[in-house]
Chains A and B, each alone.
Chain A
């Protein structure tokens, strides 16, 4: 039966049908739904790991034990998992091991725009790149065949437009392969120098064998075109843009496997057309390879290595006219994302701004604390960088930064990679104050459980990591918990911790306002008689408060009654409905 399926859901379906039995991932847009969808199948063990490195190592362990396994992450997650990735390339696998990585060209929800295809080449691991949901299912299944046939992990590279687009698929049955026996094999699995030296030539030979396979593989296909003045080499969502723009006009070599590349097939294709153009998003990965083959080719001189492509971009650069619709002669204000009404992070950032502190930020919903009018964050780099960065900043800044600098990090991000930074703070004794914004969920990626919530991916109760005990056990003596809605107490706690001569952790604890179990008092109202129009309440950037005719106005469809704005009003104009 034909159904519509999200690209990520389709990868999950492919995993299921291929008999994948073990999944370990860390959430990250746009990859998250792969793991959420596959977890719905009872036959598949699926878990959220604390970070991508742990997830990949767990998946490798499962492969070793003989079950087909999988691990998903976003592009920056692959940086975290890069360490095991490069050596798993040497060990190879027992049962099939597939790694899903989702890039985010256009940075819809990411801190950089890195092109993960380089990892395939660098780690010498084959990479498949589906261009729609039907291919996502097929490629996931093929990935396991390749993994076991060539004794290698296989990367499946997604991107936002493939991950988050629904297209038509037909599903099949799950075929569960027999569990493979684990056999001790030190030469293959113990990567100490003597063994690794013997494995490296095998890795090179494997890449050659895969390149030979790629020459005749159906997933690298030539689609005929009526006009051979131009031939297009492309893959992934770029292929869809090319087809949308030109249909079957020009011949297309559509690559389903992006590494290793089929050299002879590319050469033959180049010879069959007058001019060769590569259409690919981000870096000129395929293009560089073509140049290395000595081919004359255009690519990045036409198509930007910044942001996403589209059918219009392809048309414009390849000589087809584009007609856009009418644009408004009007200044349309931007609508950046904002913290939700009732978000427990808002008030903490208000306090940090008021205290004029330098704030090293991290990755999560709370990155929005950087947006005006709060504007309370100084840095955002990568997961965990707030805590470790704070240590260096305080050590190097000496008296200048002492008592004036903090790190903010969410509960899930803290477990992911903040705790190692905190260990460094304790061990190397910096006078640092770390604020853990504990909203009891992984928020930005859409409410995933994590080790501090007490529930696992399947929603079952499980061991809960106690943040207070964890911080104390790594050597932080001063650990306290505050309610972010109570701004006065938060400020007092911050003052005290910043003044002490030893490291401290403040846990700002209140669950995400969007969690279903959170009960809100309900919208407050504003009293236009009492309101003096001083705009004090506007300083917290709450989407539920605006000014109308010089008076504060509450949007009752958004307001949840958190009471933070009431604490800012000196005139008692904001409060619960009478």
Chain B
């Protein structure tokens, strides 16, 4: 099979690393060769963060290059728009419609572009936008955005409910398990 590529992008501190760990665990369980590449350090402080998840028969490079991503899972709207060049033809974007202003916008030196989801659709990109923050809050915590988005992404895979739940159980602290499971279901079914 051809190597599959998912880019997980967002703002440092949003929990993108947990999403990539969870996905990596599931894919390995299916017997694929898997590589997950993360960025630590300075950009984790509210900067733009990117994680690459790749799987197939043999995966060499740990990173996804421009024109290679089957899917961009974005935790924030502007971050989805930043990385459209990484999509391969026919690639799609799943995006949390939440807007988090970057410092140049907060400081008033730049504007947050309007109607980004519509504009990306206008470029012929398959865009699935959802208000993951509202769903996470419905599940009980604004911090559960990552599980809402994992739920949404799960529609694109043929993993069983049990496989997902096992992976979630291994990836989140037990006291937040029910909350995270609920967030996952909300994202999946919204």
- Chain A residues close to B by CB (< 8 Å): 2-4, 6, 29-30, 32-33, 108-109, 132, 160-162, 164-168, 237, 240-241, 243-244, 310-312, 322-328, 330-340, 365, 368, 371-373, 444-446, 535, 538, 541, 543, 545-547, 555, 557
Contacts and interface: CB of A to CB of B under 8 A. Distances in A.
B184 to A, nearest CB: 20
Given A330-B113, A337-B46, A325 B86 contact: yes
A543 B104 CA distance: 10
A326 B127 CA distance: 13
Contacts of A322: 65-67
B65 A243 contact: no
B112 A325 contact: no
What is the interface of chain B mostly: helix, strand, loop, or mixed?
mixed
Interface string B93-116: 000000011111111111111001
A166 B67 contact: no
23 contacts: A4-B25, A108-B40, A132-B35, A161-B37, A162-B62, A244-B61, A311-B65, A324-B85, A325-B86, A326-B84, A326-B123, A326-B124, A328-B120, A333-B102, A333-B112, A337-B45, A538-B107, A541-B103, A543-B46, A543-B101, A543-B103, A546-B101, A546-B105
A365 B11 CA distance: 17
Contacts of B120: 328
Q: Name the 8 nearest CB pairs between A and B, nearest first.
A: A109-B41, A29-B41, A337-B47, A165-B62, A325-B87, A244-B61, A333-B110, A335-B102
B187 interface: no
B110 to A, nearest CB: 4
A109 B34 contact: no
B117 to A, nearest CB: 12
B154 interface: no
B174 interface: no
A356 B177 CA distance: 50
Contact of B43 (A108, A325, A326, A557): A108
A546 B101 CA distance: 8
A168 B30 CA distance: 13
A107 to B, nearest CB: 9
A339 B33 CA distance: 37
A244 B110 CA distance: 38
Given A325-B69, A555-B100, A557-B142, 9 more contacts: A164-B37, A164-B40, A166-B21, A240-B60, A330-B119, A337-B46, A338-B45, A444-B42, A538-B106
Given A161-B63, A326-B123, A30 B41 contact: yes
A240 B61 contact: yes
A4 B104 contact: no
Nearest to B113: A330
A340 B14 CA distance: 12
A444 B116 CA distance: 32
B123 A328 contact: yes
Interface residues of B, number: 66
Nearest to A165: B62
B151 interface: no
A165 B110 contact: no
A535 B107 CA distance: 9
Contacts of B86: 324-325
Given A310-B65, A557-B142, A165 B102 contact: no
Given A168-B33, A322-B67, A340-B13, A29 B42 contact: yes
A285 B109 CA distance: 42
Q: Which residue among B84, B109, B133 has the maximum number of chain A CB atoms within 10 Å of its CB?
A: B84
Interface of B: 11-13, 21, 24-25, 28, 33-48, 59-63, 65-69, 78-79, 81-82, 84-89, 91, 100-113, 116, 119-120, 123-125, 133, 142
Contacts of A32: 40
A575 B69 CA distance: 45
A322 B119 CA distance: 25
Q: Which residue among A30, A132, A324 has the maximum number of chain B CB atoms within 10 Å of its CB?
A: A324
Contacts of A164: 37-40
A240 B91 CA distance: 24
A338 B142 contact: no
B13 A338 contact: no
A166 B17 CA distance: 11
A237 B21 CA distance: 21
A237 B46 contact: no
A365 B38 CA distance: 19
A165 B37 contact: yes
A545 B106 contact: yes
Nearest to A163: B40
Contacts of B45: 337-340, 365, 368, 444
Contacts of A368: 45
A249 B156 CA distance: 33
Contacts of B36: 4, 165-167
A30 B36 CA distance: 16
A108 B104 CA distance: 20
A311 to B, nearest CB: 5
Nearest to A239: B60
Contacts of B123: 326, 328
Given A325-B88, A326-B123, A333 B105 contact: yes
B67 A168 contact: no
Contacts of B119: 328, 330
B35 A336 contact: no
Contacts of B107: 372-373, 538, 541
B28 A168 contact: yes
B35 A167 contact: yes
A575 B37 CA distance: 41
Contacts of A541: 103, 106-107
B41 A165 contact: no
B66 A446 contact: no
A328 B105 CA distance: 18
A229 to B, nearest CB: 21
Nearest to A246: B60
Contact of B40 (A29, A336, A547): A29
A546 B40 CA distance: 27
A333 B101 CA distance: 9
Contacts of B47: 335-338
Given A241-B61, A244-B60, A331 B113 contact: yes
A166 B34 contact: yes
